[in-house]
Amino acid sequence: MKKTHLITFLGKVTGGGEYRDANYQIDTKHYRHRFFGLALAEHHRPDQMVILGTSGSMWDVLIESQATDNQWEVERLALIDAAQKNQVTQSQLDALEPYISEKIGIPTQLQLIPYGMNEAEQMAIVHSIAQHIQAGDHAIMDLTHGLRHLPMLGMFAAIYLQGAKNVTIDGIYTGALDMTDRHTGITPVLNLTGLLSISRWTAALNVYDHSGDYATFSPLIQNPQTRQVLSKANFLEKINNTELAKQQLASIDKQLSDELQQHPMSSLFADDLLSRLTWYKAPTRGEREIKLASNYLAQKDYLHATIMGFEGYITLQLEKDKKDPNDFQARKALSDEHAAEDDRLKILRAIRNALAHGLRPTHSKIIKIMAEQKTLHETLAQLFQGLLRK
């Protein structure tokens, strides 16, 4: 069964002070608490709360804020002394977990974390968060309290949980005490969850740059019709039906651009996405095919780059001779004719055959070209650039 986990940090006020009560507004409701994590717990009622703090965090103040009797008095007094000496241990926190869980009314785990002084300690903090959450669960992050660098680690932990463990992040909150309204006394609560979209967009861009699959952008597009057209165009391109793919992309050209600019997050990435979808704007089919070949080459997809480059060469020549690029016999005849006299086509066809059919090249020049990735890449790049200049 999927669970919802509230992750919150516990800090320390310098000079022996403590957090002061605040009237936090979450959505339309108000909660008066000293620790913002407790306000979130009351609002969301998660299945579990995890409070993380260092050996010097205000564990004593947290426990005392919930104390209404003399229960666990020995443990509480020992914790006060340890917190003041920066010597709180995990065993002390474990002993007080039943007490704090009972008082808060939610199963609560008190987790000791390092200070995050170096990469190993920083990753240990992320691991401490992740170990409490199972794949597919939900999480709410509270970044309000704690050392100043902990909110960054909390945000990266949310990115990790979302991407690596398929955890749904229901909220990333911070209680903005310094923005408290001096007239009403209400402290606003900021929800930073939308910033996770940055990681989704950058991940989608990286997937495209490595695979050429622009359907990866579809989940980030708001309009369902635009998403559908984008996915269909991607499919048509992958089966080499570039003309129908071009028609699909052209049909949403302005619509996609306008939509991306309408939302703060997508507008940030609008230029990055649109710059990756420019191949279909080339004026002729042959130029579009060569541009696609160059895209495949950039993704190190040498098979598709060579196939599309070879077909693009044929299309360019047919267009130059004012012949129908869709005429199969014309394409075959031109391929046979030019292969005998144009070294560029000879090289492309030899590489294509070797890659598509698994044939070992016999010509020494082709063997040398395909012996190293760098040589193959540079050869194809020069061929494609030369064809576009013609």
Task: Say if residues 203 and 239 touch (Cβ distance below 8 Å).
Answer: no
> pLDDT tens-digit profile of 313-352?
999 999 999 999 999 999 988 888 876 777 888 888 889 8
Task: Tell me phi and psi for residue 233, to 5 degrees.
Answer: -60, -40
**How crowded is residue 296: how many other Cβ atoms within 10 Å of its Cβ?**
21
Verdict on whether the full-model pTM lies above 0.85: no
What is the distance between the alpha carbons of residues 100 and 108, in angstroms, rounded to a whole number? Answer: 7
* CA nearest to 292, candidates 306, 112, 84: 306
> pLDDT tens-digit profile of 10-61?
988 665 566 788 999 999 999 999 899 999 999 999 999 999 999 999 898 8
Task: Among 109-113, 232-236, 297-301, 361-365, name the one with the lowest average pLDDT.
Answer: 361-365
What is the distance between the alpha carbons of residues 124 and 129, in angstroms, rounded to a whole number? Answer: 9
327 contacts: CB under 8 Å, gap ≥ 6: 318
pLDDT at 323: 92
**Residue ranges of domains in the chain, CATH in brackets:** 4-191 (3.40.50.10640), 200-281 (no CATH), 285-389 (1.20.120)
